[in-house]
């Protein structure tokens, strides 16, 4: 593997230092932002909206963790959320760079990450009774927060679909987000079950 020139190393270190020590750059004052690779996009570009929603989801997960981190009954779920939070930074970075056929970057959403979600879905779904109808989001506070995570993940999924309709996107980003929203739904039900709260079926008569 060819080594990077001293100039390239210096520029990389400059960018790294700048990112760590500066928050306000004023570049965004004109509604523009940089993505990975130095490309400039409008802040209303679908790519920016998509990875921005990933950031929103990661932040809501942080809030949820602040509510459940001391609950021993939900320790396994807190551990899962922490790992997902880290995955979302990989996913956001994936969306923030243009996908090239020759791209061999390691920090991409992988099939292994998707497999992990699917294994969790199977594990927790086996603990639940089958649903016969739609349920109302709610019950305990942690379960309600899971439903918020679910709906933000669904919005992010839609935004990735929009972006993928005209630009190359790692297909695993979309699959991961789809599985993630499903997992949040399952975990919402698991939490209510552990808290002794029965899921409320939608009343179609009202």
Distance CA 144, CA 140 (A): 6
Q: Region 130-142: what's the mean pLDDT?
A: 95
Output the pLDDT for position 36.
60
Residue 1 pLDDT level (bands cut at 50, 70, 90): very low
Output the pLDDT for position 203.
93
Tell me the pLDDT of the chain averaged across its residues: 83
pLDDT higher than 50, residue 8: no
Q: Region 114-143: what's the mean pLDDT?
A: 96
Q: Region 64-89: what's the mean pLDDT?
A: 97
φ, ψ dihedrals at 36, nearest 5°: -55, 135
pLDDT top residue among 128 and 13: 128
Residue 107 pLDDT level (bands cut at 50, 70, 90): confident
pTM of the model: 0.82
Q: Region 37-41: what's the mean pLDDT?
A: 53
pLDDT higher than 70, residue 181: yes
pLDDT higher than 80, residue 110: yes
Distance CA 180, CA 84 (A): 9
Q: What is the pLDDT of residues 26-35, one digit of tens each?
A: 655 555 554 5
Domain boundaries, the chain: 27-194
Q: CB of 187 within 8 A of CB of 85? A: no
pLDDT higher than 70, residue 111: yes
Residue 41 pLDDT level (bands cut at 50, 70, 90): low
Burial class (CB in 10 A: 0-12, 13-18, 19+), 161: middle
pLDDT higher than 60, residue 73: yes
Output the pLDDT for position 96.
85
Residue range 27-194 in CATH 3.40.50.740: no
Q: How many CA atoms lie within 13 A of 84 on its CB side?
A: 33
Distance CA 105, CA 113 (A): 16
């Amino acid at each position: 593997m060819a080594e990077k020139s001293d100039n390239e190393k210096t520029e990389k270190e400059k960018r790294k230092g700048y990112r760590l020590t500066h928050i306000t750059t004023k570049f965004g004052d004109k509604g523009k932002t940089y993505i990975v690779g130095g490309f400039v996009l409008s802040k209303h570009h679908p790519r920016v909206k998509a990875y921005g929603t990933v950031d929103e989801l990661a932040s809501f997960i942080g809030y949820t963790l602040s509510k459940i981190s001391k609950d021993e009954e939900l320790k396994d779920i807190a551990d899962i959320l922490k790992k997902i939070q880290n995955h979302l930074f990989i996913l956001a970075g994936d969306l923030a760079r243009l996908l090239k056929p020759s791209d061999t970057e390691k920090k991409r959403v992988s099939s292994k990450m998707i497999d992990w979600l699917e294994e969790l879905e199977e594990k927790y779904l086996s603990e639940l009774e089958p649903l016969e109808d739609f349920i109302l989001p709610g019950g305990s506070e942690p379960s309600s927060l899971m439903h918020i995570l679910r709906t933000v993940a669904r919005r992010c999924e839609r935004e990735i679909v929009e972006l993928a309709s005209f630009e190359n996107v790692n297909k695993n980003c979309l699959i991961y987000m789809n599985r993630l929203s499903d997992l949040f739904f399952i975990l919402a039900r698991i939490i209510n079950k552990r808290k002794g709260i029965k899921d409320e079926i939608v009343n179609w008569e009202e």
